[in-house]
Structure formats: C-alpha cells, structure tokens
Amino acid sequence: MSATTATPATPIIAVEHVDKSVTDSTGTLHILRDIDFRLAARETVAIVGASGSGKSTLLSIIAGLDVPTHGTVRLDGHDFFALSEDGRAALRAQKMGFVFQSFQLMGNLTALENVMLPLELANRRDARKVAAEMLAHVGLGQRLNHYPKVLSGGEQQRVALARAFVVQPAVLLADEPTGSLDFATGETIMQLMFDLNREQGTTLVLVTHDRGIAQRCERCITIDAGRITA
C-alpha cells in the first residue's frame, strides 16, 4: 500500500515558480530564483549544490517551514501557502517525515519516547508498541530506554530514521543526513534510509553535497546561485 494518496495525474510535490529573497539596509539578496519542478509519488530526488547555493532554503520551503517571496508549493494537491501556519503544521504532520544532520532528538526523552512522539501527536493508542517495533527494525531493539546522550552518532540517526518513518509519511525530507557521521557509519545509515524508503513507498527529497549519495537517487536537481542548472 502506498504511503500517499497522490494519483499519477497529481504530483505528490509541485514546486511552482518559487522565488525567495530577503531585504535589509544593504539591499536585496536573491536566495532562490524561479524554482519549478514536480515529483511523482515514490520518486527519489537529490538536491545538490555548493554551500550557500540555496538548497537548504528550498527544502525549508518545500516543508512549509519557510515562506517563498513568490510562487508556491503543492503537497499532494494542497497549496501549502494558501493555508494558515497551523494548517501547514497539520498537513506537515500528516504527510511528512524529517531527518536532519544534527539528529534533532529530544534529549530528555528516551529513544522509545522520541519515536513515540509523532504517534502520540497523531493520537495513536498503540504508540509504544509501534515505536518499539520500528526501533527493533532499525537495529535498536536493545536501546529503547537509552537517552540520546549515551547513544553514538549512528545510533542517534537510527532513532531519527525510526521517528521519521514510524508514521509512514508520504514524503521524507532529509537534510545532509550523514553530514556529522564518519564514512562507514554514513554508508550504513544511507542504506537503511533507502531500504525503509523503498519498503514504505515514500517520496524522498534529499539535500546533499555528496555526489555519490546523490547518484543513488532517481533524479538529481542541481542548484547554483539560487537557480536550477541541471
């Protein structure tokens, strides 16, 4: 069963002529210029570019966390920026999962509690059982009651992956998910992420500067100085 309700005629993500600029006393800085593309359900895409190219800003706009100056993003047919901030948050919770370079785990919660959190927000009565099963699936069945500070970087990112996938999101957004890991650990985490993505039929949007990782995706979108160049 697909993780999304999108049909072949409806892209799961439509980025429509997105511009982003900021203005201060020194003038206007154009971060993104006329970014326009569509992603089908289950597709995997890497967004690549040098530091400062605008790729992380683009990911934030796709997530509805940042607001474009012009243009919009449609998620499963819903115009993100026609919604209120609360409306965007609700749609995001329903449709999206996130994996970050810095893990973004709650330090005062155990591994199990971190993974339970999105389930509890969705009022799942079986949150503890489902979270424990997901942690076992990513190889952390013996670490349920450990806090992030006693977990290695690779283990923390496994918890983050479990938290992202436990709600079976239609879309997974990943921002440099191996950026703070050593090469071997990063390779293991990437393989796990692609395996989970394939199992659940999720659409993956991956921001990376690593061309090797990008080549594992079906498509690669290159951003240079705020524009799509390839």
* pLDDT tens digits, one per residue of 147-178: 999 999 999 999 999 999 999 999 999 998 88
Cβ pair 97, 164 in contact under 8 A: yes
- For residue 1, is pLDDT > 50? no
Would you identify the CATH topology of the domain 13-228? Rossmann fold (3.40.50)
Indicate the pairing of strand 203-208 with strand 44-48: parallel
Cβ pair 78, 29 in contact under 8 A: no
* pLDDT tens digits, one per residue of 13-54: 999 999 999 998 898 999 999 999 999 999 999 999 988 899
pLDDT at position 2 is: 45
* pLDDT tens digits, one per residue of 85-137: 999 999 998 899 999 888 899 999 999 999 999 999 888 999 999 999 999 99
- The residue extents of the domains of the chain are 13-228
- For residue 4, is pLDDT > 70? no
The whole-number average pLDDT for the span 208-214 is 88
- For residue 183, is pLDDT > 50? yes
Say how far apart CA 24 and CA 131 lie, in whole Å: 45
pLDDT at position 211 is: 86
Say how far apart CA 162 and CA 155 lie, in whole Å: 10
pLDDT at position 131 is: 97
Task: Give the tokens for residue 70.
Answer: 């012009």
pLDDT at position 3 is: 53
Q: How confident is the model at residue 5 (pLDDT cuts 50, 70, 90)?
A: low
- The closest of 103, 88, 106, 95 to 167, measured between CA atoms, is 95
Query: What is this structure's pTM?
Result: 0.87
Indicate the pairing of strand 96-100 with strand 171-175: parallel
